[in-house]
Amino acid sequence: MKLRTTVLTFSLIALTGFAQKKKTTTQTPKEKFVNELLAKMTLDEKIGQLNLPGSDDFVTGQAKNTNVAQKIRDGKVGGLFNIKSLQKIKDVQKIAVENSRLKIPLLFGMDVIHGYETTFPIPLAMSCSWDMNLIERSARIAAIEASADGICWTFSPMVDICRDPRWGRIAEGVGEDPYLGSLISKAMVKGYQGKDLTADNTIMACVKHFALYGAPEAGRDYNTVDMSRIRMYNDYFPPYKAAVDAGVGSVMASFNEIDGVPATGNRWLMTDVLRKQWKFNGFVVTDYTGINEMTDHGMGDLQECSKLALKAGIDMDMVGEGFLTTLKKSLAEGKITTADIDAAAKRILEAKYDLGLFQDPYKYLNETRQKTEIYTTAHRAEARNLAAQSIVLLKNDNQILPLKKSGTIALIGPLANNAENMAGTWSVATVQKNSIPVLKGFEDAVGTQAKIMYAKGSNLDDDPVFEDNATMFSKSLNRDNRTKKELLDEAISVAKQSDVIVLALGESAEMSGECSSRTNLEIPQAQKDLLKEMLQLGKPVVLLLFNGRPMVITEENAKVPAILDVWFGGSEAGHAIADVVFGAVNPSGKLSTTFPRSVGQIPIFYAHKNTGRPLHNTEGKFEKFRSNYLDERNEPLYPFGYGLSYTTFTYGKATLSAPKMNAKGKITVSVPVSNTGNYDGKEVVQLYIRDVVGSVTRPVRELKGFQKIELKKGETQTVTFEITENDLKFYNNALEFKAEPGKFEVFVGTNSDTQNKVEFELIR
């Protein structure tokens, strides 16, 4: 018996040793490196990795004398953000890897939102291109340029679904639709991170703002968000999940609350959903002072809020230093554990390993790349192309556009000759003076073939205080101190000498963006007055609408014969606008957001639910005891997916390959599309599906596919879409992602309002 016990004991010891040995030998090189480094770190150094302070304004050669530099030497900083220039970053990185105890390199992040020095259109505009290859390429170029200037981490893409254009940050997002938003999210992550994150021209992406940030009450930034979990999962979560599925390296928490708990301290969101359900294994950073702001939400003092954030699954604290100043105390008091801190620190170290910073902390500091790969002619050409592809033709009565390069053209408006506003909001690395304004673009386009006459015509707004608030961050419109009458008289004089009038009106760059919520979405009255005067002259008028959101232009749509939504096109905005105006590029952009007729319709979006009392007519007639308004139609001014072309496209009848489909099968939808106009052109053919009967109410239609095709004039192409069960799935009341058998309607056409319909049945 004793012998058997001894043998059993030795066997258990051997098996245990084998298991331990196996566990050790199966560690990846990254796991081994990070675990060994973590074991060497003091508590203060671990907490230091969780700290992301602002960079201050370092002066080259003097970085070592700053307060932040001392914290870096002490191992109390994990990264810095929005520090620009290779030399400054090199100075700071040198402190971390040569003057700190463990020589752990820093992360350097920046808001590289829609390009670096070569600036692409604002993200909302890019989404209107419906071209994932171009969008991915914009992120790839942004990564090339940012990494050539020392940046290894971007706070992009922002993929917050927004259906309320009063919210200014809609400009930075992907529009209103989760399907389109998910494709853009994936493309941006792929563009930034490339195929190899250790390459010196790729950077780590950070999807934001997790979650639901684009749905604040009243459209007011940072405000409360409250919605059902069904809506979260079906309408707002998909683009974030798409980024996670694409391998995004980091996630940023949003400012708003979810189910009564701020996202920054919401364990259900950050751990249950993000890590457990979606299997995200990167790190989570707060937004700017997000932990500190939980105090105003009513979650406790800084120590309590820091504890909540760490326990929720937050790994890095941006600016607030709540982790740096309170976690040690919370650990001593038993409110958190060493394991909590270790888990967060480990994720930061893993990100640095993934970026190759431990192998070469200076890998992004190549002076040759800095001199040759930033703001290049080739990059600017690609920015110009994407800007042109993002422009949406809203109206073109009597084929006023494209304009001929002849005669005299009046270019009038406060946004006609202003380089500083062309790049749009969140263009922190842009050299604003280098951007091409409309006047320069027009002059370059026509050369000596036509005469361009310019007048400002009006200020952005009659109120100078409002104009100051709307032109921040070095984006002045250089307010003209002449009287309103003097400005108008000059514009009238110029217009009378012209054959056609082109007006550059709308918002300034910073009238949209963060903390730029608006209750009035119309063009400012000063510009409306200018437009009225121009229309009275009886000449052809073209409106170039500058905007970072859907605007209320019901009056302009009724009176102006031609309208181009040019958004904010980036570095090459003026050239891109000229390309479209003069016909070098046939516009093909399609709206990724609905344009309301009135602010009173907001929130308005195409994928709405039906009511039990829907309006029976489509002419906007009022019906008592139906879901409608006394003073406005239900329909938007321009629906989601809308956009005209200089040519015309005619759709044939959609057909199905079969009337029924089982769960493992597929159905093909086909539609012939013909270019029946006088120009070659591109068309975005869109597929929408409606689940007619469900266990929960379903939207009237949902985008499930699209193809951007190019047709020569007179050409016809049959476009086909394949529908599988996965296209029919949704989250039910139990938050199960399932397709339910029954009848489905399929719509194929040029925008979300198409009536080209076929039907099929899903069977079990």
Residues annotated as catalytic are 287
- Neighbouring CB atoms inside 10 A of 21's CB total 10
Helices 29-40 & 338-354, crossing angle to 10 degrees?
A: 130
- Neighbouring CB atoms inside 10 A of 558's CB total 9
Which residues does residue 204 pair with via DSSP β-bridges, in sequence order? 153
Tokens 């798409």 belong to residue: 242
Q: Looking at residue 433, what DSSP letter applies?
A: G
Q: Which two tokens stand for residue 272?
A: 């249950």
Alpha helices for 418-571 (secondary structure H): 438-446, 464-469, 484-496, 525-535, 554-559
How many Å apart are CA 214 and CA 157, to the nearest integer?
Answer: 14
Residue 742, C-beta contacts closer than 8 angstroms, at least 6 positions apart: 691, 692, 693, 694, 761, 762
How many Å apart are CA 155 and CA 348, to the nearest integer?
Answer: 15
Determine the Cα angle at 551 with ends 548 and 553, to 5°: 140
Determine the Cα angle at 539 with ends 538 and 545, to 5°: 110
| Tally: H helices and E strands in the chain | 23, 27
Read off the amino acid at residue 124.
L
Q: What sign has the CA pseudo-torsion 660, 687, 227, 206?
A: positive
490: closest CA among 414, 593, 439? Answer: 414
Which residues does residue 176 pair with via DSSP β-bridges, in sequence order? none
657: closest CA among 718, 742, 740? Answer: 718
Grouping H, G, I as helix, E, B as strand and the rest as coil, residue 661 is strand
Could you report how far apart the first and last alpha carbons of the chain are, in Å?
A: 62
How many Å apart are CA 89 and CA 709, to the nearest integer?
Answer: 44
Residue 299 half-sphere exposure, CB side, CA atoms within 13 Å? 24
Query: Beta strand pairing status for 666-675 and 655-656?
Result: antiparallel
Query: Beta strand pairing status for 500-506 and 408-412?
Result: parallel
Q: Which two tokens stand for residue 342?
A: 């270790």
How deeply is 359 buried, as exposed, middle or buried, from its count of CB atoms within 10 A (0-12, 13-18, 19+)? exposed
How many Å apart are CA 500 and CA 538, to the nearest integer?
Answer: 10
